[in-house]
Amino acid sequence: MYIFVLIKQAILLIYILGIPQIVLLTKIDILDENLCSDLPMVFSSPKVESCLSKVSSILGIPENQIHPVKNYKKEMVIDKNVDILALMALRQMLYAAEDHLDNAQMTEALAMSMSEYEMTVSGTKGVQRKRAVDIESASEPI
């Protein structure tokens, strides 16, 4: 149980930092023996769906961020269906990373523009105060 507490704390810290979270659910062929012969049916397998929901509830990560992947175990020949699952997961990871970087750049640009705006506003107030002082001193009798 202690390991789950550590994992939850790590997930919370990662969430606070805004780092995207993706889980790879490996060894799905052990979940359902029928998947070995028909790997494209992985997304409609009730056993895999059940496992996805369990992992989602334990880790607190949305199901669309959990990707099933089959490991090469005894295969001597590369199977394109196994590779497709891995590549789909990799593509989702790259999309999440790209979105994270775009959001970070946008946040940084927004922060820069806000600081420039604050400097402009504070500089304008200083100019207005100086003009007010100049007008007051000009209205004094000589």
Residue with tokens 């490991």: 71
Query: What's this model's pTM, rounded to 2 decimal places?
Result: 0.67
> What residues does each domain of the chain span?
21-138
Give the mean model confidence (pLDDT) for residues 52-56: 92
Note the pLDDT of residue 111: 80
* Per-residue pLDDT, 136: 54
Say if residues 32 and 47 touch (Cβ distance below 8 Å).
yes
In this prediction, residue 140 carries a pLDDT of 55
DSSP letters of the chain? Answer: -HHHHHHHHHHHHHHHHT----EEE--HHHH-GGGGT-GGGGGG-HHHHHHHHHHHHHHT--GGGEEE-PPPSS-SS--HHHHHHHHHHHHHHHHHHHHHHHHHHHHHHHHHHHHHHHHHHHHHHHHHHHHHHHHHHHTS--
Is the CB of residue 110 less than 8 Å from the CB of residue 67? no
Cα end-to-end distance, the chain, whole Å: 85
Per-residue model confidence as pLDDT tens digits over 10-26:
888 988 888 899 999 99
